[in-house]
Amino acid sequence: MAIDIWTEKYRPQTLGDVVGQKNIIEKLKAFVSEKSLPHCLFAGSAGIGKTTSAIAMAKELYGNQWSHNFMETNASDERGIDVVRTKIKNFARVKPLGTDFKIIFLDECDSLTPPAQQALRRTMEKYSNTTRFILSCNYPSKIIAPIQSRCAIFRFGPISDKDIKKRLGHIAEEEKLTIKDDGMDALIEVASGDMRQATNLLQSVAITSKKIDQDAVYTIAASMRPKEVKKILTLALDKKFLEARKILAELMLERGLSGIDVIKAFHKEILDAPIDEKKKAQLIDKLGEYEFRIVEGGSEDLQIEAFLAQVSAL
The per-residue DSSP string of 263-293 comes to HHHHHHHHHHSSS-HHHHHHHHHHHHHHHHH
Q: How far apart, in whole angstroms, are the C-alpha atoms of residue 251 and residue 48? A: 30
Class of the domain covering 6-155: alpha beta
Determine contact, residues 60/32, Cβ cutoff 8 Å: yes
pLDDT at 174: 92
**How confident is the model over 232-263, as pLDDT tens digits?**
988 988 889 999 888 888 888 877 778 888 88
Please, what is the average pLDDT of the chain? 87
Asked if 79 contacts 115 with a C-beta cutoff of 8 angstroms, the reply is no
Asked which of 31-35, 169-173, 196-200, 246-250 is least confident by mean pLDDT, the reply is 246-250
Phi, psi of 131 (to 5 degrees): -140, 135
Q: 177-208, pLDDT tens digit by residue?
A: 999 999 999 999 888 889 999 999 999 999 88
Q: Which amino acid is at 268?
A: K
pLDDT at residue number 155: 94
d(C-alpha 176, C-alpha 171), whole Å: 8
Residues of the chain with CATH 1.10.8.60: 161-221
pTM for the complete prediction?
0.80
- Please state, in angstroms and rounded to a whole number, the distance separating the CA atoms of residues 296 and 248: 22
Contact 136, 42 (CB under 8 A): yes
Query: Which segments of the chain belong to CATH 3.40.50.300?
Result: 6-155
pLDDT (0 to 100) of residue 59: 93
The pLDDT value recorded for residue 262 is 87
DSSP 74: E
CB-based contacts of 157, cutoff 8 Å, min separation 6: 20, 21, 44, 48, 193
The three-point CA angle 265-162-193 to 5° equals 35
Percent with pLDDT over 70 in the chain = 96
- Residue 58 pLDDT > 60, yes or no? yes
Residue 187 vs residues 44, 117, 212: alpha-carbon distances, Å: 21, 38, 9
pLDDT (average), residues 4-13: 86
Cα 14 from Cα 11, distance rounded (Å): 9
Contacts of 285 (CB under 8 A, 6+ apart): none
Give the H or E element holding residue 137. Answer: strand 131-137
CATH 1.10.10.10 applies to domain 161-221: no
Longest CA pairwise span in the chain (Å): 71
Can you name the residues that pair with 136 across neighbouring β-strands? 42
pLDDT of residue 1: 33
What's the confidence (pLDDT) of residue 2?
42
CB 131 within 8 A of CB 113: no
pLDDT (tens digit per residue) in 296-310: 888 888 898 898 998
Helix, coil or strand: residue 222: coil
- Mean pLDDT within 213-226: 83
Angstrom distances, CA of residue 73 to CA of 77, 136, 205, 221: 8, 10, 31, 29
pLDDT, residue 80, reads: 56
Mean pLDDT score, 133-150: 92
- Structure confidence by residue, pLDDT tens digits, 68-99: 899 888 766 655 566 667 777 888 888 888 88
CATH 1.20.272.10 domain residues, the chain = 226-313
- For 195-215, the DSSP string reads HHHHHHHHHHHHHH-SEE-HH
- Would you state the pLDDT for residue 226? 82
Answer whether residue 101 shows pLDDT above 80: yes
CATH number for the segment(s) 226-313: 1.20.272.10
Alpha helices in the chain (DSSP H): 6-9, 22-34, 50-62, 81-83, 89-93, 114-126, 145-149, 161-174, 181-191, 195-208, 214-221, 226-237, 241-255, 259-272, 277-295, 300-313
pLDDT-derived band at 215 (thresholds 50, 70, 90) equals confident
